[in-house]
Amino acid sequence: MRKNRRIGGDVAGDIERDAAAFAAAQVAAVRDDPTGRLVLARSMYEEPIGRRAPRLRFQRAAFAFIRWMAERGVLNPLDGMRPGSRWWRAMNERILRDSCEALAGAAGRGGSPSTAAVEHWTAFIDQPTSQAWYRAHNASVVAAYLEHRELAAHENRIERFFLNVVLTRVLYAHALVAAPRLALGRIGRCGPVLADPRRGTVDIFLAMGRVLPDAYPAEGELRDYLHLERKLGRVLDYAVISRACAASTTGRPRRSIDPSSPPSSSTTSPRTSGRQRIDTRGARRRSPSPRERSDRSRRLARRSLDTPPSRGLR
Q: What is the pLDDT of residue 218?
A: 85
Give the residue among 264, 268, 266 at the shortest CA–CA distance from 284.
Answer: 268
Q: How far apart are CA 215 and CA 72, in angstroms?
A: 6
The span from the CA of 230 to the CA of 208, in Å, is 12
The alpha carbon of residue 239 and the mean position of all alpha carbons in its chain are separated, in whole angstroms, by: 16
Ordered DSSP codes for 3-30: --HHHH--TGGGTTS-HHHHHHHHHHHT
What element of type H or E holds 233? helix 231-234
Domain boundaries of the chain, sorted by first residue: 5-268, 271-305
Please count the residues of the chain.
314
Q: Which pTM was predicted?
A: 0.70
At a CB cut-off of 8 Å and minimum separation 6, what does 268 contact? 277, 278
DSSP, collapsed to helix, strand or coil, labels residue 84 as coil
- pLDDT in the model for residue 245: 63
Rounded mean pLDDT for each run of 10 residues along the chain, 314 residues in total: 48 65 95 94 75 75 81 92 94 95 91 94 93 94 93 91 85 89 84 85 64 78 70 55 59 43 39 43 55 63 51 43
Estimate to the nearest angstrom the gap between the alpha carbon of 74 and the chain centroid: 21
pLDDT of residue 69: 85
Q: Are 107 and 14 in contact (CB under 8 A)?
A: no
